[in-house]
Amino acid sequence: MSANPEMMPDNPLTYFPASEIWRLFMERTRHNEGPDKFDEKEKGYMEGLTEVLNIMLSQPPGTRLTVGQIVKYHDIVAETINKYPENNLGKPNEHFELGIRSGTTGFGFILDREDPHCNATVEGILELVESIQEEIRNGATPSLSIEINIPGSDKLEELVITAEPINMEELTERLRKSTVGALTVTAQDKESIANRFNKIIETFYQELDLAGSEDDKLRAIAKFIHSLEFTHGFEDANCRTVVMELSIWALRECGLSLAMLKNPNRFDLFSVSQLVDELKEGRLEFESYSTKNLENYLQENNRLDVTEIKKHLSDDSEKAMAQINSVFTKIIEGKLALNLDIQHTTMFIDPEINKTNCILALKSLYEEKYKECYQKNFTANKKVLDAIASRHMITTDSTYGKRLSDSLRRVGQERQLLIGFRKKE
């Protein structure tokens, strides 16, 4: 399972529908809840993440990442949530803390792979234990404890990770019998966490220098994001800052297409190899929205053929809607030059007729895909489908309606002139 490098231009969003950016910031398992779901819980959620995305994309590829930048990205996300007093965050002070945390932190984990919230695997926990022990042997002082549920009981059994040898077979057996647990990283000060961040960044760049293949790059990215996420360097918003934002940065840095992750929380305690597979799957999903083939067809062919247009659309009706709208928007805004040609047999033919024919064909296809999507996916929740469609220019832009009306009037006039001209002949 590998992504297509031809889908990856210098700007990773060149052929990705702008109306679907929200999908990068929600796990794929929840896309069916619509683009507004997370903002309903935390107003400003998408606003902050989009602001960080814009900042990252404004920087030239190759701009070296620093700890200060990571903190800045986190604080933008946190401050955007904090500026809306109506947010009920369930915290004593009702706001997200800024900057690097200090003190003890931790998070729960679910080992049941059938659970949609699963964020840990046996392989991932074992890999982490070995990694922490290696750090301790090399002079680092992280302190890690793992609590595992005891089968048949609601009690948790604690395992403190030190440099002392661990019976890995016994630990593996205990983990395989468990379904949930918790991981705790004992007190660290801000400077220690910043130093750990910096080391993780340096290691990432070193591994990139040695990467000889796409898989090597993906492995370096998976290890980089996993190490930052496990560190849990902030009191809040770790996953959205580290996994959602920095995975975009890292993939772009490596010249790879972006990824729509099925469950970003898997970067907590999945193994690096498993996370590479997550990235590959997510990249394929991202690329399935690409409009590159459709844009190339419209630019390189001088014959408008709806059957051919359909060949360059996704088989998924919802994705096809996004692709059609994206191309439609670029045509309306003059960002996509068409090479369509019709009979140049008279001086009365207006070049705008070609554009009008194309947008009419796209609009008709969009309506067809909307109906398919409603019947297949959203019969029980038309509100979500309409929330998705409301982001599309093809259905909401009033300027388009006026411009289309004007174009149609011109088309009608030219056809009448053409008919009259031929009758006189």
- Predicted confidence (pLDDT) per residue in 111-135, tens digit: 988 898 999 999 999 999 998 888 8
- Alpha helices by DSSP H, 163-268: 168-176, 190-210, 214-231, 238, 246-253
Range of the domain at 346: 292-424
- How many other C-beta atoms can be found within 10 angstroms of the C-beta atom of residue 359? 20
> Encoding tokens for residue 271?
């193994």
**4 assigned to some structural domain:** no
Strands 180-188, 156-161: parallel, antiparallel or unpaired by DSSP?
Answer: unpaired
Q: Into how many domains does the chain fold? A: 1
Residue 192 CB contacts under 8 Å (≥ 6 apart), including other chains? none
Residue 307: CA atoms inside 13 Å, Cβ hemisphere, count?
0
Instruction: Give the Cα separation of 61 and 255 in Å (integer).
Output: 9
Residue 85 lies in a domain: no
What pLDDT score does 34 carry? 92
Residue whose C-alpha is closest to residue 11's, from 314, 334, 251, 313: 251
CA nearest to 306, candidates 361, 355, 371, 372: 361
In a domain, 29, yes or no: no
Q: Is residue 231 part of a domain?
A: no
Residue numbers of the chain with a pLDDT score lower than 70: 1-10, 90-94, 141-143, 150-153, 186-187, 340-353, 379-380, 395-425
Question: Helix, strand, coil: what percent of the chain each, to 5?
Answer: 60, 5, 35
Question: Closest Cα to residue 70, out of 213, 240, 226?
Answer: 240
- Residue 77 forms part of a structural domain: no
In a domain, 367, yes or no: yes
Cβ neighbours of residue 167 closer than 8 Å, sequence gap 6 or more = none
Please report whether residue 157 resides in a domain: no
In a domain, 64, yes or no: no
- Supply the pLDDT for residue 152: 67
Contacts of 382 (CB under 8 A, 6+ apart): 374
